[in-house]
């Protein structure tokens, strides 16, 4: 959803609409080992350029393909990843590799699977915590600028039905919001430094970045894009503004008393904050489904569904159903034969379904415990 984050697409969802659906099946076996199958589907750009997705990092087996959606030209990318977990092995806390640009800002979801043996039987405890994403700083400005009655009324109209004055009003609101957003990024970057820069350096840098949005021809450029449904023009404008704000910030810092290392640290923080919020905005309309299969009877949970009877599976069926027969066969091969005792045991499954916005400024915790009597 990188294009979604352009100046107009923050609110003009009719220009670039898309979302990513994440389906995850976690199957735990009686010895505490298990399987994780992740199926990600969405617009190719959304899947490839948003939050980190499963890749051929150590431990994962992946495949992907493109398919045509129902609408003409609405191509979808489907990526499937399967991972075998040994008993006691910790699941990766995110999909980002440790050496990637996204490692510091990707969605984190540390997961624990513990097997506890008591006098009456064996308990399987599952816990996952989706770490909160900072969003309130930007949502504040969005509400201040974009959620007035006037702007919401204009935004409900298709661009072709707006008057010239309404398009200009909407464009001006977008620019004010984006300017405030960039100022917030400067603040967050400065606050992340130890020590933060002096007030004069900080305030001057903030003003220089926000001045990029005060150019007199910018309103006309944005108004024109609104009128023409200009998706590509929107992306090009966002790229220009990104370059100009970065140059304005660096120039301001270089003209201050800061050392070269201090300037570089500020710029690194600026890039990191921008990327963090871009990933957060991408996550907002993504759809999450987590399905968990545990041995025995599920005795406690906070899932969205009641426990239901399930069968023990390696993940191969989910992979095949997604259209990856060759990968499904590979999964069956390295899974090996299951023990008869594992197959005969009863299993239950629960599910959680939520939107990405659920992790905005709050933890989302998934909990379940199952029990197998002695």
- On the question of pLDDT at 327 being above 70, the answer is yes
C-alpha to C-alpha distances, 174 to 154, 163, 213, nearest whole angstrom: 12, 17, 10
Predicted confidence band of residue 113 (pLDDT cuts 50, 70, 90): very high
Domain ranges of the chain: 2-133+285-373, 136-282
pLDDT tens figures, 1-43? 433 444 444 444 334 445 899 999 999 999 999 889 999 998 8
pLDDT of residue 103: 87
Whether 157 shows a pLDDT value over 50: the answer reads: yes
For residues 327-364, b (16+ Cβ closer than 10 Å) or e, as one string?
bbebbbeeeeeeeeeeeeeebbbbbbebebbbbbeeeb
How confident is the model at residue 3, as a pLDDT? 37
Q: Return the residue matching tokens 């990513």.
A: 20
CA dihedral sign, ordered 311, 79, 17, 109: positive
Helix, strand or coil for residue 343?
helix
Asked if the model's pLDDT at residue 177 lies above 80, the reply is: yes
Residue 235 token pair: 């992306």
Quick count: other Cβ atoms within 10 Å of Cβ 15?
20
Question: How many CB atoms are located within 10 Å of the residue 139 CB?
Answer: 14
Question: Can you tell me the distance from the alpha carbon of 253 to that of 203, in angstroms, rounded to the nearest whole number?
Answer: 11
User: pTM, whole model, 2 decimals?
Assistant: 0.87
pLDDT band for position 69 (cuts 50, 70, 90): low
State residue 136's pLDDT score.
95
Q: Which of 38, 56, 67 minimizes the C-alpha distance to 323?
A: 67
Of residues 153 and 251, which shows the higher confidence score? 251
* pLDDT score of 257 more than 70: yes
* 273-313 pLDDT, tens digit each: 999 999 998 899 899 999 999 999 999 999 999 999 998 76
């Amino acid at each position: 959803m990188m294009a979604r984050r352009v100046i107009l697409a923050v609110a003009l969802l009719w220009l670039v609409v898309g979302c990513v659906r994440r389906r995850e099946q976690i199957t735990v076996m009686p010895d505490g080992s298990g399987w994780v199958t992740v199926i990600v589907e969405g617009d190719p750009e959304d899947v490839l350029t948003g939050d980190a997705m499963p890749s051929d990092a150590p431990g994962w087996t992946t495949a992907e393909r493109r398919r045509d959606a129902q609408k003409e030209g609405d191509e979808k990318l489907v990526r499937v990843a399967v991972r075998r977990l040994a008993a006691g092995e910790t699941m990766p806390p995110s999909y980002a590799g440790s050496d990637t640009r996204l490692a510091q800002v990707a969605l984190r979801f540390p997961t624990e699977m513990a097997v506890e043996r008591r006098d009456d039987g064996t308990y399987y405890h599952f816990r996952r915590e989706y770490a909160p994403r900072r969003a309130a700083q930007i949502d504040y400005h969005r509400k201040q600028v974009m959620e007035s009655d006037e702007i919401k009324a204009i935004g409900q109209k298709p661009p072709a039905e707006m008057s010239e004055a309404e398009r200009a009003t909407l464009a001006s609101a977008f620019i004010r919001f984006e300017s405030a957003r960039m100022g917030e990024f400067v603040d967050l970057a400065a606050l992340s430094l130890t020590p933060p820069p002096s007030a004069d350096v900080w305030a001057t840098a903030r003003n220089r970045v926000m001045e990029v949005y005060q150019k007199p021809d910018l309103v006309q450029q944005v108004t024109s894009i609104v009128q023409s449904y200009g998706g590509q023009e929107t992306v090009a404008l966002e790229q220009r503004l990104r370059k100009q704000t970065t140059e304005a910030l660096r120039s301001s810092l270089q003209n201050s008393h800061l050392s070269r290392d201090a300037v570089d640290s500020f710029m690194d923080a600026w890039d990191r904050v921008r990327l963090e919020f871009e990933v957060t905005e991408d996550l907002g309309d993504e759809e999450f489904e987590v399905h968990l299969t545990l041995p025995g009877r599920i005795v406690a949970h906070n899932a969205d569904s009641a426990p239901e009877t399930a069968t023990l599976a390696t993940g191969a069926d989910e992979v095949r159903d997604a259209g990856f027969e060759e990968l499904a066969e590979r999964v069956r091969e390295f899974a090996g034969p299951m023990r008869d005792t594992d197959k005969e045991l009863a299993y239950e499954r629960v599910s959680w379904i939520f939107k990405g916005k659920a992790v905005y400024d709050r933890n989302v915790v998934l909990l379940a415990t199952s029990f197998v009597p002695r």
